[in-house]
C-alpha cells in the first residue's frame, strides 16, 4: 500500500513540475517577445519619431511583468511531503 501511495505522490510531484516548467517557458517566451518589441522600438524608425517617455514606460512595464511572473512562481504551494 505504501508503494502505491509513494507512486501517486511522485506522479503528483512530476505533474506539478511539468506544469511549472510549462509556465516558466510561457513566461520566458513572453519576456523574450517584450524584449524584442522594446529593441525594435529603440531602433530608429524611418518615418516615426521616437518618444523616450513611451520607451521608458515599456521598459518599466517589462520589469513589472518580470517581477510579477517571478513572484507568482514563488507563490506555488508544493503538494505532498516533498
pLDDT per residue over 14-64, tens digit each?
888 898 899 988 988 888 888 888 888 776 655 456 678 888 888 888 888
Whole-model pTM: value is 0.47
Q: Please choose, from the candidates 29, 39, 41, the residue with its C-alpha nearest in 3D space to the C-alpha of residue 65.
A: 29
* SS3 of residue 2 by DSSP: helix
Rounded to 10 degrees, what is the CA torsion of 13, 15, 21, 25? Answer: -160
Higher per-residue pLDDT: 81 or 9 = 9
The domain locations on the chain are 2-74
Between 68 and 48, the more confident residue is 68
pLDDT band, residue 13 (cuts 50/70/90): confident
Q: How many CB atoms lie within 10 A of CB 27?
A: 17
Amino acid at each position: 500500500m505504501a508503494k502505491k501511495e509513494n507512486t501517486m505522490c511522485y506522479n503528483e510531484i512530476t505533474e506539478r513540475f511539468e506544469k511549472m516548467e510549462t509556465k516558466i517557458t510561457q513566461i520566458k517566451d513572453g519576456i523574450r517577445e517584450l524584449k524584442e518589441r522594446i529593441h525594435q522600438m529603440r531602433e530608429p524608425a524611418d518615418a516615426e519619431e521616437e518618444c523616450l517617455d513611451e520607451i521608458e514606460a515599456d521598459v518599466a512595464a517589462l520589469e513589472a511583468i518580470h517581477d510579477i511572473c517571478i513572484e507568482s512562481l514563488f507563490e506555488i504551494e508544493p503538494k505532498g511531503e516533498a
